[in-house]
A and B are shown apart, each in its own frame.
Chain A
Amino acid sequence: MAPSLEEPTKVDLNAPLKVAPKLVAPEPEHCPGPESEQAGVADNCAGCPNQKICASAPKGPDPDIPVITERLSSVRHKILVLSGKGGVGKSTFSTMLSHAFASNPSLTVGLMDTDICGPSIPKMMGVEEETIHVSAEGWEPVWVSENLGVMSVQFMLPGRDDAVIWRGAKKNGLIKKFLMEVRWGDMDVLVVDTPPGTSDEHLSVNSFLKTSGVDGAVLVTTPQEVALLDVRKEIDFCRKAKITILGIVENMSGFVCPGCKHESQIFRASTGGAKRLAADEKIPFLGTVPLDPRIGMACDFGESFLDAYPDSPACKAIRHVVRRVGEEMGMQGDVLGDEE
């Protein structure tokens, strides 16, 4: 077989979804997606064993989308935390963002983990052992504090070391179920943590939330070019999917030696770091968060770093970033509920 050097197939990011039909065979390579408008009628569908099923499936928008919209209509602000690269601190930042918002007692905050193969949120929030409560009105999120609720796939796994070996379609189903079933209730901010990359999870979160309205995405990166390279791809993704970019945060920038206070650039910003990238791409730069070993430790123990070390430089930096996120979303007043 001669290999093809063709450009990636274009995924239609704006088409409304319809119900996914039951397929008889796995989706082929150039499948437009059984949920897409084009299912069964696209050029690539010729010869696919699923073609008839896809073509005859009821057209029109997915009836689940209004359910999701209804569920989330009581959530005022929705933020996606994205990064093309893994391990740059998406989950850490999501946790801190939620903790910071929740430090304002007048806000109710939710945190949803859509990383199905590697969910870290429950551990970072210190609620690893919890399970979901199912009531007649839906699934109840796990409450970390009075005004901070968490939802993750981890809560549904029998053993916490079990690998979730799922293909994309199955992951999409779960994310959808999450959005449909979880009873977030009256909520001010919902933070959605995502896995690295630009694939199934991102596409489905985007299309499921399209009608309920997402405020935008916060991109997290580390300063070195290897990470920025992937973040550029994520910016491209956001543009193509028409997701507003609230801004970019540079995490792990600079490490202050606890011994001699000498600052080292461990992940050197040889190409100007996130600041330069933000300027080049004309997106807001939200700030930098220094590398502090205590952040990692707080996450390991499931504590809030912001509560544990309120005077550290990293904490101040994070609070600054969170304020900027609030500003970008157009939230009124000081989102943290206090003045420094």
Chain B
Amino acid sequence: MAVQRCRYRCPCAILPPEILRRIASRGNRAQREAALATLATDQTLRLARATHQLLDAGARKPSLTLPELAKQRTIYDAGHQETLPGRVVRAEGSPAGKDVEVNEAYDGLGATFDFFAAVYDRNSIDDEGMHLDASVHYGRRYDNAFWNGRQMVFGDGDGDLFNRFTISLDVIGHELTHGVTGDEAKLVYLGQAGALNESISDVFGSLVKQRAQKQTAAQADWLIGAGLFTSKVSGVALRSMKAPGTAFDDPVLGRDEQPATMAGYVNTTTDNGGVHTNSGIPNHAFYVAAMAFGGYAWEKAGRIWYETLRDRRLKQTSTFRQFAVLTAQNASQLFGAPGRKIVAAAWKEVGVDVGR
């Protein structure tokens, strides 16, 4: 019988109910009480599990014991090949080495895990303690980073336009948040739902950085990927949540085409329907809401967006408006009428009407 440690750090042995019932009827008084308490808890867990199963329609495996809240990071070196994951170069708890990308990936995964754990009580990507894996040195002069459904992948950059892709903590947070979205709302990566998927990664990627730097909404730069461009590029970052469409304007990369409002919504067949372009609209709504709430953005605006991401009413094919309506409802639940008013006003500023 496996003895697992639960997140409350007590050893939980899983005994079959028939053994517990035998103890409850035949054991001494202390044993009987303990067994009965376990059976009662077990019953509650079964009920909770059945309820979740109904809601999930079998989408997620329920776990009887909550896994321990602990980071399990593994960093791999892809050795400039495009095969994953590569060889292990740093495991959880081992000291920093000389490879900057390995260390940045390790620390970035740690900061992201800590953010979700401390702020939203989330145990890793799947809230069940999923191990965090990342491969660095992927490909030759590879200028991208992505989430493949199981792990993060970072290129070194081409050295001409892009530096190493581990350089920005918010990019690491962005990639891991794709994992969270894949576990919760499962927003399809297309059109408005895809742009929401992208925006949610920018929101929490930025919040990971803001929390690591102890910045209030007013102090934050609200940039995604600052430091990623080499000095040859005229631009500050990949995107700006504060001022979408202003992050870069460069002869080789082109101009940042992100709209800040629905009036500028881009209909396109490229990039899965412009998921990295139209994300500017929900990004800016979040920024406006966070500034209106004031203080640390992860506490109110971030909490509202996180609860909306986990809201079972949020559809995989949600539009901006459907998402916005849920943020307003969650704002009301969490922070009352004043919270709702702030969120509704933020969406209105970007041209999304959440109604009354």
Q: Do A and B come from one complex?
A: no
**What residues make up the interface of B, taking CB atoms closer than 8 Å to A?**
none
